[in-house]
Each structure stands twice: as C-alpha cells, then as structure tokens.
Chains A and B, each alone.
Chain A
Amino acid sequence: MLLGPALAVSAILFSLGVAGVLLRRNAIIIFMCVELMLNAANLAFVALAQQLGPDGQVIVFFVMAVAAAEAAVGLAIVLAIYRHKQTLDIKDINLLRG
C-alpha cells in the first residue's frame, strides 16, 4: 500500500516548490518551481487514482495539458520582459508597483 507514502512525498515536493518560489528571484526558476508544484499535485492524483478508479489519471492528463499551455505563454512573457528590461530578476520588474 503506497497511498500514504506517495501523499507524503507529494506534500514534500509541493512545499519544496513553494519554498523555491519564495527563495529565488529569477523568473525562469520561479516558473520551474511552479512546474514542481504541479507535479506534486499530479503525484497525489495518481496515488489516489490507484484505488479510486481512472478518473484521477484523466485529471493528470488535463493538468499536463494546462501546464504545457502555461509554460508556452509564461515563457513568451519572460522573453518579452527580457527584451524590454534586459534582466529576469523580479526585483527589477516592478512596473505595476504603485
């Protein structure tokens, strides 16, 4: 029975993703930490799907599709920001700060 350990690993990976978002200032690395969080959620879905039927795996399929769309749009935004500011450090990207 791997449900409990899998959920525990999922919790640790999700927290690592959150800590990474808080720790880093490089926009691309923050994106990668978001991907890490999405993968932790996927692990929880798959672990529960093992016993609750295939619906959880279908949700993982959708999460992957949304993650792909998010990565494409997000990296395009990163490219546009870099072209505009010549940096990806989010402390220098404060155009919307009042």
Chain B
Amino acid sequence: MTQVAFWLFAVLAVLGGLMCITRRSPVASALWLVETLFSLAAIFVLLDAQFIAALQVMVYAGAIMVLFLFVIMLLNLGRERATDMRGWAGRLVALALGLLLVVELWVLVGSPLAGQIQLPAGSMSRASQEQGVVGVISDSLFRTYLVPFEVTSMLLVAAIVGAVVLAKRRL
C-alpha cells in the first residue's frame, strides 16, 4: 500500500517537474510546480515526516509559489508569447547534461556506500510515536540547532530589508 502510494506520487512529482520546465506560459509552469510540491508533501508523509509535509504545503506551495504567481501577474507575463526555450543546440545541451546528471546520481544511489549505511529500521516512526510528530523535530531544533535557528531569523530579516530596498522605485 505504501509502495503503491509512493510510486503514484513519485510519478506525479516527476510529471509535474517535466511539465514545469516545458510549458510556455509562466503561469502554467508555476501551477505544475505547485503540483510537484504537493506530490512531494505526500511523499514526505509516507517517509514519516508529517511536520515537514505540512510546512511544505504552507511555506512552499502556499507562500513561496503565491509570491511567484504574484510577480508573474504583476509583470503581466501570463499572456501567450514567443517561447523562451533555447534553440536546438541549447536544448541538446540541456538534455545531454540532464541525462548525464541522472546517470551520475543513479550510480551514486546504487553505489556500495548507500548500501553500507546499516540503518535501524523504523526508528523515525518509533520516535514520533514516543515524542509526537512535532516534538521529535523541535527537540533537535531547539537544543542542537539553536544557534543556526537564531541565525536563520537574522537571515530572514536581512532578506526582507533587501527585498524592500531592491524593489523600491526610489529610496
């Protein structure tokens, strides 16, 4: 059952990615990317990461993609116009490098290193049953990674200030 659901959402995610990079209209691209993000959220649930799945839907599919669509519509790019795909040489280079990367990563996945990691099966689902889905992450986030967490807040403030300064017409 889990396997079937996983492969269903995996196919949906790859299909969404493929459509995202081939659709002519930026709005269609963005909506296919949203479909990929939702499929990935479903895969995250199957991988015992329920909290990350909720974050994926809220932050990525919600906030970030709405920002993208907002900018696309603000710049009035939704109309059909000449394609922005590269010419034949560019397409061949993109296809060749993409396939090369797939092969490289595939070899890496199948390498003995990946097989050597002897993992305790189901430790994550056990931990989330003991501490709760959010508790597992927050325990690590607010103990081991407290300083990076605070630095992230500074990063977000810097990003907000930078975005305002860049997008403002006249300071």
Contact = CB atoms under 8 A, between A and B. Distances in A.
Given A64-B60, A73-B166, A29 B84 contact: yes
Contacts of A16: 14, 17-18, 20-21, 98
Interface in A17-57: 17-20, 22-26, 28-29, 31-33, 35-36, 39, 42-43, 46-47, 49-55, 57
Contacts of B167: 76, 79-80
Interface residues of A, number: 69
Nearest to B99: A15
B114 interface: yes
Contacts of A62: 145, 148, 152
A26 B77 CA distance: 10
A5 interface: yes
Interface string B124-136: 1101000000001
A12 B91 CA distance: 18
Given A51-B123, A62-B148, A72 B163 contact: yes
A65 B155 contact: yes
A75 B49 contact: no
Contact of B145 (A7, A46, A58): A58
Interface residues of B, number: 86
Contacts of A69: 155-156, 158-159
Nearest to A4: B109
B1 to A, nearest CB: 12
Q: Which of B44, B86, B91 has the most CB of A within 10 A?
A: B44
A11 B109 CA distance: 9
A49 B141 CA distance: 14
Contacts of A8: 106, 109
Interface of B: 2-3, 6-7, 10, 13-14, 17-18, 20-21, 26, 29-30, 33, 36-37, 40, 43-44, 46-49, 51-52, 55-56, 59-60, 63-64, 67-68, 71-72, 74-75, 77, 84-86, 90-91, 93-95, 97-99, 101-102, 105-106, 108-109, 114, 117, 119-121, 123-125, 127, 136-137, 139-141, 144-145, 148, 152, 155-156, 158-160, 162-167, 169
